[in-house]
Chains A and B, each alone.
Chain A
Amino acid sequence: MMLTVLLTPITVFLLLALVAPLRRSGRPAAFISILGALGTFGAAVQTWVLVDRLDAPIQRVWTWLPDSQGALATVGYLADEQSAIMILLVTLVSLLVQIYSLGYLSDEPAPAIGRYYVYQSLFAFSMLGLVLAPNLVQLFICWELVGLCSYLLIGFWYKKPSASRAAVKAFWTTKAGDVGLLIGIVLLWRHTGTFDFGELQQMAGAGLVGVDGLALITFCIYLGAAGKSAQFPLHIWLPDAMEGPTPVSALIHAATMVTAGVYLLVRMAFLFALTPDVLLLVAWVGAGTALMAAILACAQNDIKRVLAYSTVSQLGYMMTAIGAGFASAGFFHLLTHGVFKALLFLGAGAVIHAVGTNDITHMGGLARRMPQTMIVFLVGTLSLAGVPLFAGFLSKEEILAGVWAGGLTGPFVMLLMGAFLTAFYMFRVVFLTFFVKPAHASGHGHGHAPHDAPMTMGLPLWVLAAASMTIGIYFMLHHPAEAVEAPGWLAPVATGVALGGIALAWATFQRQIINAESLARATGPLRTVAAHGFWVDEAFVAVYRGILMTLAALVGWVDRYIVDGVLNVISAWTVSGGDGLRRIQTGKVQDYVLAVGAGVVAILWWLRGTM
């Protein structure tokens, strides 16, 4: 059953990738892929039920690289409480996104649709392989594979220069972190002699993992997670990744792949617990990322970029919770966020599909034209803003409680400010998109009035909206047992902050009591800074260019003066030596005879003693 989860998507991938006519046929390929995703989802549900009933992890490993003492590396699966519920999220969102894409990409040519579903199936396999990985080696391989899928899908419209540039940027930025992860894994192996999660956990539990040098290892692993999960300053790729099709953003850049970093840290939490310094760093960087991305989201007019920054921000929340030592809270937020952020992206996709633009200032008044989309988008927004009864409320509150309990006052305040801004920028989007009259009357993309999305796109939206509501209400009633005991004032404060943000957005964009322009001006220099994304990109370019140019100048100098110099000297010697030797070859036979005679005399002189 567990193998079904892994083998179904890879079979679909191989089938579609190798049988070219099937792939080029487009929609049949899509149906096969969706059928595969459905089967995978079914198997994932069974797995989850099984793990829940057994109340014990199911593990199976095969030897991959044999060694004299046992196996050096194994492949297999490990379905425990965390991975079982994670594959449920992955397969659910993957299935819904694949159904949704059928409508979203209906205008694409058939081969492009086939190609899209090939990538989707490969992604599903790699992500599930990552989640179910019983050891770090398999995890790393799948980690790189999802990075590859992300690259391929961001660059899906590869003829668009901005899309291919964004794909390359995403690949390299995450790769920068991945190098850290690889180093961390190898160092950890040298430190402990195993890649296996179970063995590592046992060793850590028995206190057999030496603390000396462990901080470096956990830091390297965190680097990988920071790249994948878009932590400052490696977050720059995620907003650009929005060049890909919107369903891809929903699946990869909101719900699943970007959370891989958080998932890795949750998996390795027992190890990170031994290095409190690194945990502190994780928390501070996470909180900084959460607040910074929230500020940036307020300055964006592209609906997808707002959502992208919001994803960065929420990933920051999860990281902060892990840094505070409450990995389960971060993991809980990962799950709820996966559901409602996928919902938001798919809703935004429906809007973009109908209107033909990403710019929220060009939208407006869509509530009447697209009531269904409006309702589900609102559910997602309320969830993200952290309003009670919705999925995001509890997980966010748990994070805040955890950070408070961890004694991290600074990050706690930053997260609270972030929560306020989250509510503000999300409702800014809602009001500008669905309610106010459009400021710029622009031509609509499809040449007719925008309307609700077709069935294939509508169904996933409703499923996700229902899931968001269900999770929210369910956990409201059955508070998870392992949750942190939150101080009594926290829930009202968190709710109040969220409602405050909503009220400010309402007053600014709906009622227009507060002039948006003067509000922006009131933030002063922060506005300029936010408009430039804190100059992180520019800083990267400057540093990169500085290092590269210095290095290039150095290499150029060495090449020009040392390598070329040595070669030039040797060639000059050769030329002058040849020139000198040329002179003794006069072409006159008598000179040669003289030389022979002189040679004979010289030899005789040399041999004189022996005669």
Chain B
Amino acid sequence: MGLSAYLALAAVIFSIGLFGVMTRRNAVGILLGIELMLNAVNINLVAFSRFHGDVTGMVLTVFAICITVAEVALGLAIVILLFRTRRTAMADHVDWLKG
């Protein structure tokens, strides 16, 4: 399998993630979508690293996974706080920034 197969897989996963972010009404679903998009990027990084023989991509991937964990923890905390104060976890109910 060539590089393009990995890239195609990553693109598909990224698109699925983006679609999820855009269409999911539940905030937890949106967070899952974001996870998919980030991991699609990770796949890209690992694939390039593998095919170019350069470990930098892998190191960066490990780094990105750590960041992702922190991000999910923060995101879920926000969702919980949101649910406590507003009794909802639906993103489209939260439109305080509406002009």
Q: Could you tell me which A residues sit within 8 Å of B by CB distance?
A: 581-590, 593-594, 597
Q: Which residues of A contact B23 (CB under 8 A)?
A: 590
Are A588's CB and B95's CB within 8 A?
yes
| Residue B51 at the chain A interface, CB threshold 8 Å | no
Q: Mark B8-38, 1 if CB is under 8 A from A, else 0.
A: 0000000000100111100000100000000
The count of A-to-B residue pairs whose CB atoms sit within 8 angstroms is 36
Q: Known A597-B18, A597-B22; judge A590-B97 contact (CB<8 A).
A: no
Using a CB-CB cutoff of 8 Å, which residues 69-99 of chain B contact chain A?
91-92, 94-99
**A512–chain B nearest beta-carbon distance, Å:** 96
Interface residues on B, range: 10 to 19
In the complex, 22 of the A-B residue pairs with CB atoms within 8 angstroms, ordered by the A residue number, are A581-B99, A582-B99, A584-B99, A585-B97, A585-B98, A587-B99, A588-B92, A588-B94, A588-B95, A588-B98, A589-B30, A589-B91, A589-B94, A590-B30, A590-B91, A590-B92, A593-B18, A593-B21, A593-B22, A594-B22, A597-B18, A597-B22
One of B18, B22, B30, B98 near A587 (C-beta < 8 A)? B98
Residue of B nearest to A579 (CB): B99
Are B95's CB and A587's CB within 8 A?
yes
Are B91's CB and A587's CB within 8 A?
no
**B36–chain A nearest beta-carbon distance, Å:** 14
Residue of B nearest to A583 (CB): B99
Are A586's CB and B95's CB within 8 A?
yes
Q: With the chains together, A588 CA to B96 CA distance in Å? A: 8
Q: With the chains together, A594 CA to B92 CA distance in Å? A: 13
Q: Known A590-B30, A590-B91, A590-B92; judge A585-B22 contact (CB<8 A).
A: no
Q: Closest 10 CB pairs between A and B?
A: A587-B98, A587-B95, A585-B99, A587-B97, A582-B99, A588-B95, A588-B92, A594-B22, A590-B22, A593-B21
Using a CB-CB cutoff of 8 Å, which residues 17-72 of chain B contact chain A?
18, 21-24, 30
Q: With the chains together, A593 CA to B23 CA distance in Å? A: 10
Q: With the chains together, A25 CA to B18 CA distance in Å? A: 95
Q: Which residues of A contact B97 (CB under 8 A)?
A: 585, 587
Residue of B nearest to A594 (CB): B22
Q: Which residues of B contact A585 (CB under 8 A)?
A: 97-99
**A247–chain B nearest beta-carbon distance, Å:** 77
**B24–chain A nearest beta-carbon distance, Å:** 8
Q: With the chains together, A581 CA to B98 CA distance in Å? A: 11
Q: With the chains together, A597 CA to B22 CA distance in Å? A: 9
Q: With the chains together, A593 CA to B22 CA distance in Å? A: 7
Q: Which residues of A contact B91 (CB under 8 A)?
A: 588-590
**A479–chain B nearest beta-carbon distance, Å:** 100
- Of the candidates A581, A588, A594, the one having the most CB atoms from chain B within 10 angstroms of its own CB is A588
Kindly list 19 other residue pairs between chains A and B, CB separation below 8 angstroms, not including A586-B98, A590-B24. A582-B99, A585-B97, A585-B99, A587-B94, A587-B95, A587-B96, A587-B97, A587-B98, A587-B99, A588-B91, A588-B94, A589-B30, A589-B94, A590-B21, A590-B22, A590-B23, A590-B30, A590-B91, A593-B21
